[in-house]
A and B are shown apart, each in its own frame.
Chain A
Amino acid sequence: MEQAGASLGKPRDTKGGRATRRELFARALAAAGGLSALALTREGLAKEPAILDRPDDWAPGNALERMRRDLERALAKPMEKRKWVMVIDLEKCIGCKACTVSCVAENNLPPGVVYRPVVEEERGEFPHVRKRFIPRPCMHCDNPPCTPVCPVGATWKRPDGIVAVDYDACIGCRYCLSACPYNARTADFGEFYTEGLAEGSEAFAGPRASGYETRPSFEYGKEWRRTPGSHASPMGNARKCQFCLHRIENHLLPACVTTCLGGATYFGDFNDPESLVHELVGSSRMMRLKEELGTEPSVFYLA
C-alpha cells in the first residue's frame, strides 16, 4: 500500500516567497476568476520545548471589540473624512461560509442574489494538497468600473469609499454587472424561496412561515420590502454588498465581519492610523485582487 502523509509548511516560512506568492495569486485570480496559487514548502523539524509562560493570546482582547471602538471614532468624524476598508486574512478563512449566509440574512437576499460568495480552491497533488478559501465581497473600488457605465447615475462612489446603488433610480439594465471585473453584482429577479409551498392546508404552516422573506431589508437606511406578486425595488435591480452601510450608521460592524468564525474579516476606517485595519493593510502579506486593472479595491487580502 502506498504510504502517504504530508507536512505542509506555510508560505510565510519561505524566504523571499512573498513577491512570488502575490504574483501567482493575482495571476491565478485573473485567470480563474478567484482562485489562487500556493507555494508549498517543507516544514522544518520540531521546535524547541515549550516556553510555558508565553503571553496569553487573548490578553489584548477581542478584535471585534477593538473594531467597534474604531467604528465609534470613525462615526464621530464627518462622513467624507472616513475611508471604509475591509481586510480579509486568507490564512484565517476556514471556508465556513457563515459570512455568505449572514449577508443573505442581513440583507434578506432572494434566490440568485449573493453578495459575498466564498471561492474554494484545492492546490497540489495528493498527498501534498492544500485548501484556500477566498471570500469575495464588492471591492468598493476607488476607480470602480461599474459606476461610469450606469446610464442613469444610479450607482456612485461615496466620499467614505462605499460604492452605493440607488434602487429607486436603478433601471435594471445590468450594464454594471458586466462591467464589474469581480462579478460582485447580481440581479434580483424577484424570486422567493418558499413562495407557493405547502399552501392551502390547516395542517401545514405554508405561507404562515414566510415572514422572514417578506420582512424588509434595511439597505442604505431605508426599508425595502419584497413581496410575491409585487415588482417594487429592489426586485429587478442590480444588487451588491454595501459594507452593511445601514449597520455601520447604526454603530454595528458589517454582518460578515461580526460573524466571521475564523476571525478573518476586518473592517474599519483606513483614514484612522490607530485603527486595526490601518495596521493590517501595512502587513507584508497584503495584496489585492486584480491590481493590474487599476481599480484600487478597498478590500485588502492577507495572503
Chain B
Amino acid sequence: MANNAAGRDIPARIKGLPEIRPFEGAFKNTPLVRKQKGSRSLPRLNKIVDSIEQAVLKSGVQDGMTISFHHHLRNGDMVLNMVMDVIANLGLKDLTIASSSLTDAHTPLITHIKQGVVRRLICSGIRGELAEAVSHGVLDTPVLFHSHGGRARMIEAGELQIDVAFLAVPSCDVYGNANGYTGPSACGSLGYAKVDAVHAAKVVLITDNLVEYPNTPFSIHQDHVDLIVPVDQIGDPQGISAGSLRMTRNPRDILIAQYASHVIEHSGYMEDGFSIQTGSGSISLAVTQFLRDVMLRKNYTASFALGGVTGNIVTLHEEGLIKRILDVQSFDQEAIRSIAENRYHTEIDASYYANPHNKGCATNKINVVVLSAMEIDTDFNVNVLTGSDGVIRGASGGHSDTAIGSGISIVVAPLIRGRTATVVDRVDTIITPGETVDVLVTDHGVAVNPKRRDIYDRLKTKHLPLYSIEQLKQKAEKVTGVPEPVQFEDKIVGVVEYRDGTIIDVVYQVKD
C-alpha cells in the first residue's frame, strides 16, 4: 500500500491486472499543458518558432537524416529551397531528401548536392536543370523513383523513415491545424503532405497565413505537429496552379480526345454510375469535355472522379454529372475553390488514393483512367520519366497505380512528336508495366492490348482506326526514320521502384 499523489491508497498489485502505476500529479506525465492554471502566458501551447533555423535546430536535424517535403506548391514552391539553404548554412551534411516530387523550382538543390549537403533523393520525379544534373551523374547514390501510391506504402511499411517533415501549408493556426485551400498560397488538397504529417518522427509546418484557432476544416491535425514557422511567403501563386486550363484548340489533341472518348463510350466500362480519372494534360482535359457530351446524351452520371482534379471535373460535379470528387491533388484555381466550397469534393491522402498494401485504395475502384506517355513500347510498357534523349524529365506520379487499379487504362499520346516516335520497340525506362495498360489512343490510330480481347471485340465495330501496336510502331517509323540509340554510361543514376516495393527498372547516366 502506498499513497499516490492524490492521497489515495492504491494497492501495488491487483489480481488480474498488470502492474499498477500510481498517480504522480496532474502535470507530471502530461508535459504539453500549462504548468500553472491561470497563468496568462501559455508555455508550450504555442508551437510557433521565429525562424526556419530555429525549427531545424529544435526538430533535431542531424547529418545523415532523412527529411521530407511535398510538391503541392508545384513550380511555385519556395519552402524546400528556404529550408535547404538554412540546413546548408548550419553545415549539415549527407541528408536524404524525400519529397513527394521535385519540380523546376528546385534547381538550387544542385548546389547542395555538389557541396555534400544532400546525398540522396527519393521522389516521384524530377524536372528541369536538376533532372539534367541527375541524368549527368551529379549524385553518387541513385535517385529512388516511386509512384504516389508506392511512396505512401514505403512510409507506412516503415521502409522510408522520415526524421523531420518540413511541410508548407497555405493556412495554419498556432496549434498546427492546417489546410491547403485558404490563404494567398492556396494549393487545394494536401494529400501527399498528410501521410508525412502522420508518420514523420517530427513535423514542422511552414506557413504564410497564420489564422485563428481552430483552423477548421483541417487537413493536417494539431496532434501530429511539433513546430510551426510563419514566413512571408511559401510559394509563388503563378507557379502553384494554372489559372484556368482552357480547352485546347490543337486539332491533333482534339482528334485524340475524340477517339479516346469514343473508346471509353464503347469499352463496356462506361455506364450509369461509372467512375473516372482523367488528369491535367490538354488531351485529358478535352476527353473530359467530350465525355460530358456522352453523359448528357446517354443520361449517365458518374459516381465519382478521382485524382489530380481540374476545373472541368469541377464543372461536371457542379452540373450534377459527377456526384463526388476524391482529390489528392488540385491542379488549378477552380479545383482549389471547389475543394473549399463543395461538400462532396473530398480531400484524400496518398495512401487512401493509391497505396497498394493498405486495406483498400481508391485507385482500385476506378472504372476508367486516361493516362499520358512519353514512350510506349510494343509490349505496352509505358515510360513517363525519361525523354527521347535519355534525360530525366518527368515523374512516375499515379501512372502505375491507376493503370493497374482501373477497369480500363487508356494511354493518350500523339504517335509522333516532331520527329520522335511515341511507339517504340523498347521504352527507355519502364514506369508502368504493359500488362496493366489496356488501350493506346494516338492521332494515327488506336491499339488494344492483345490481353484485352474483350475490349477489342466491343470496339471493332465502332468506326475507330484500330491497328495492332506493331502496326502503329511501323507507321511512326516510316515517317520519322530510325533514330540512333541513346548512348549511356555504366553508372546508374536512378532506380525505379514499382508501387509494390520491387524494382522495375533503372536509369543510366547519359553520355554526352
Q: Do A and B come from one complex?
A: no
Enumerate chain B interface residues (CB-CB to A < 8 A): none
